[in-house]
């Protein structure tokens, strides 16, 4: 799983030809740490269908501010360079799968 910076975010996410799930998190955030194994599982399961990346909000304040990240963890799904879904807080794998699938079907 790739960790992005403010500089690499546009190329990896906005210019991607595949959907991208972005995990906005921080090392000090307990719920973020709890979500990590779920995000890692999704990355393996999707194997190239959806790209999964991480953005540490402390290391990437410009990107976090641009996308209005007020609470973490926040997962954002981008498709064709635009945000199509936002999931805030610690949620289960089933809920993430359902919301990603629904967002990509629209």
Catalytic residue (choose from 4, 32, 38, 103): 32
Q: 14: closest CA among 67, 56, 86, 60?
A: 67
Enter the tokens of residue 34.
Answer: 């709890």
Tell me phi and psi for residue 74, to 5 degrees: -130, 130
Note if 60 is an active site residue. no
- The single residue of 21, 22, 29, 103 carrying the catalytic annotation is 29
- Please answer whether residues 97 and 42 qualify as being in contact, where contact means their C-beta atoms are separated by less than 8 angstroms: yes
The two beta strands, 82-88 and 74-79, are: antiparallel
29 is catalytic: yes
CB 100 within 8 A of CB 35: no
Cite the active site residues.
Answer: 29, 32
């Amino acid at each position: 799983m790739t960790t992005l910076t403010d500089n690499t975010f546009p190329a990896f996410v906005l210019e991607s030809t595949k959907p991208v799930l972005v995990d906005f998190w921080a090392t000090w955030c307990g719920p973020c740490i709890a979500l990590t194994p779920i995000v890692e599982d999704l990355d393996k399961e999707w194997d190239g269908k959806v790209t999964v990346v991480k953005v540490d909000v402390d290391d990437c304040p410009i990107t976090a501010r641009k996308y209005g990240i007020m609470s973490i963890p926040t997962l954002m799904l981008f498709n064709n360079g635009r945000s199509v879904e936002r999931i805030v807080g610690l949620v289960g794998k089933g809920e993430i799968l359902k919301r990603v699938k629904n967002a990509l079907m629209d």
